[in-house]
Amino acid sequence: MIKLSTVFLAAFLLIHLTSCQKTKEITQKKWTEAVAAHFDSGMAPFYHGVASGDPLPDRVILWTRVTPEDSVASISVKWEVAEDSNFSSIYTSDSLSTTPARDYTVKVDVDALKPDQVYYYRFIALGKTSITGRTKTAPVAAKDSLKFAIVSCSNWEWGYFNAYDKIADRAVLDGVVHLGDYIYEYGIGKYGDTTIGRINIPPHEVVSLKDYRTRYSLYRLDKGLRRIHQQHPFIAIWDDHEIANNSYVSGAQNHQPEEGDYAARKAAAKQAYYEWIPIRESGQLYRSYSFGPLADVIMLDERLAGRSAQLDSLTDPTFNNPDRSMLGKEQLIWFENGLKNSTATWKVIGNQVIFSDVYLSAVYPKMPRNLDSWDGYPAEKKSIKDFIVQNRIQNILFTTGDTHASWAIEAATDVKKTYSPFAIEFGVTSISSANGDEGKGKNVDTVKLAEQAVMKDNPHVKYLNDRDHGYLLLTLYPAKSKAEWFYVKTVRQPQSEEFLGQKFTVEKGSTKLR
């Protein structure tokens, strides 16, 4: 490990900030050097580890990044896959090359694999061998159970990614479903706690392709994030902070005219995402996965595929306009067809923002509904609910990120008039992004009171925790599903114990939480 402490690194960057009014005047080389201060020299040139994702019964994406000492035009990389961690017999292997045009990232779609099989993989380049990764293909036949970790919202400056580290310690999962906000776009101190010595690189808000690549490079050096990618396959979707806060098709709340063309920024953000995330690259990010008769996982894109701009008020005359959309027409049709045609017992929806009605007037009288969530798009939400009810589609589990809080909800609309749940929604808290008690002037006791007030006004909300960081472990069985919220005791240091905070089960055919 290069001997440069996080405290020294923080001082290094902050000195540069105070000595240079315009942080963009500091060369990209400086930020590359600052990121390199986090390198573990024993992992060279594979400092960012390895990763896998998008598991199918016969294939999976494998990923790594090769970091040369100096810029080179091309690097030859060999990959190997085996059925044992000792690689006593290579199942399949091949070679390819990476270049600066891909930010030296490597992505290979390995096919001809066996279903429901654990595999081990590694990369070889520049005379060195990467750490060994572990992955798993999706099943085709019936299973006694499936297990997924559900995660979202990891912010470098708010704390260490200890929940990722705890997931990495688990036996191989069928997948890690990442619901977005994998990175955050802000500059130093704009949204975070720099007192723990974790400082954003680059220090300004990320806008260009180089900016986004550098931010991903930094995040992927967190030990917890590196380890979870090494041990489990990911199924990922973006939310808004992979681009800019409250993003939609044609703009974002956190994109200003002086930051250039939004379309160019969005294209840069998408390119970096596809380079750094173990995901197949296609025309649209929304997609689905079959895990045999037990489950289908349906991943929605609620940001860039078809979202209309958010409104500022419930009194806006266009609030109920059916032309306002979260998904866009094409994705909506695809989603409804996927639900209707699914023969799997459980339909797990990868959903970025809360779908259920949630009344917030008890704690936010000026913002009684979150207009960035599905509550801001009532016509389309109602059409989806009506589609589910009219087609009698059962066993739908919305898994939701974004709020930095844990939720267990009997999904219902028009709760004030009638109580008729039609699905279940499980919300996952953040990996490290601020909980309710980490804002200014708030503490655990005031947040607990707020939780109670929200639940009183929303009888369909059976659990709410806006105080802890962690993840959701979702286990699916033929006759029931089980949701367990695990939390870490701290994110302010790079290791932590975890504890089980709450558990609910749902019986097959039911929309009631137990």
Measured CA to CA, the distance from residue 457 to residue 471 in angstroms comes to 26
Strands, E assignment, 201-335: 233-236, 247-248, 251-252, 287-290, 295-299
**pLDDT score, position 29:** 75
Helix (H, G, I), strand (E, B) or coil at 448: helix
DSSP 264: H
Angle value at C-alpha 439, between 433 and 444, nearest 5 degrees:
95
127: Cβ–Cβ under 8 A, 6 or more apart, which residues? Answer: none
Predicted structure pTM score: 0.94
Measured CA to CA, the distance from residue 100 to residue 503 in angstroms comes to 46
**pLDDT score, position 303:** 98
**pLDDT score, position 42:** 97
Give burial (CB, 10 Å; 0-12/13-18/19+) of 344: middle
User: Comparing C-alpha atoms, which of 21, 42, 123 is closest to residue 81?
Assistant: 123
- Determine phi and psi for 421, rounding to 5 degrees: -65, 145
DSSP 266: H
Instruction: Check the CA dihedral 113-115-117-121 and report its sign.
Output: positive
Measured CA to CA, the distance from residue 274 to residue 278 in angstroms comes to 8
Measured CA to CA, the distance from residue 489 to residue 154 in angstroms comes to 16
Residue written as token pair 């025309």: 283
Partner residues linked to 176 by β-bridges? 149, 234
User: Comparing C-alpha atoms, which of 390, 363, 378, 399 is closest to residue 472?
Assistant: 399
User: Comparing C-alpha atoms, which of 211, 240, 261, 187 is closest to residue 17?
Assistant: 187
- Cβ contact 372:326 at 8 Å: no
Other residues' Cβ atoms within 10 Å of the Cβ of residue 444: 13
Instruction: Check the CA dihedral 369-207-492-189 and report its sign.
Output: negative
Residue type, 152: S
Helices 262-276 and 209-219: crossing angle, nearest 10°? Answer: 30
Strands, E assignment, 322-422: 346-351, 396-400, 406-411
55: Cβ–Cβ under 8 A, 6 or more apart, which residues? Answer: 135, 136, 137, 138, 174, 175, 233, 235, 289
**pLDDT score, position 27:** 61
Q: Residue-wise pLDDT tens for the chain (514 aa)? A: 333 344 444 444 544 444 444 444 446 778 889 999 999 999 999 999 999 999 999 999 999 999 999 999 999 999 999 999 999 999 999 999 999 999 999 999 999 999 999 999 999 999 999 999 999 999 999 999 999 999 999 999 999 999 999 999 999 999 999 999 999 999 999 999 999 999 999 999 999 999 999 999 999 999 999 999 999 999 999 999 999 999 999 999 999 999 999 999 999 999 999 999 999 998 899 999 999 999 999 999 999 999 999 999 999 999 999 999 999 999 999 999 999 999 999 999 999 999 999 999 988 888 899 999 999 999 999 999 999 999 999 999 999 999 999 999 999 766 667 778 999 999 999 999 999 999 777 899 999 999 999 999 999 999 999 999 999 999 999 999 999 999 999 999 999 999 999 999 999 999 999 9
**pLDDT score, position 19:** 42
Domains in the chain, CATH or no CATH each: 6-37 (no CATH), 50-136 (2.60.40.380), 146-507 (3.60.21.70)
DSSP 375: G
Partner residues linked to 147 by β-bridges? 475
User: Comparing C-alpha atoms, which of 327, 421, 420, 319 is closest to residue 368?
Assistant: 319
Maximal C-alpha separation, the chain: 67
**pLDDT score, position 366:** 86
Helix (H, G, I), strand (E, B) or coil at 487: strand
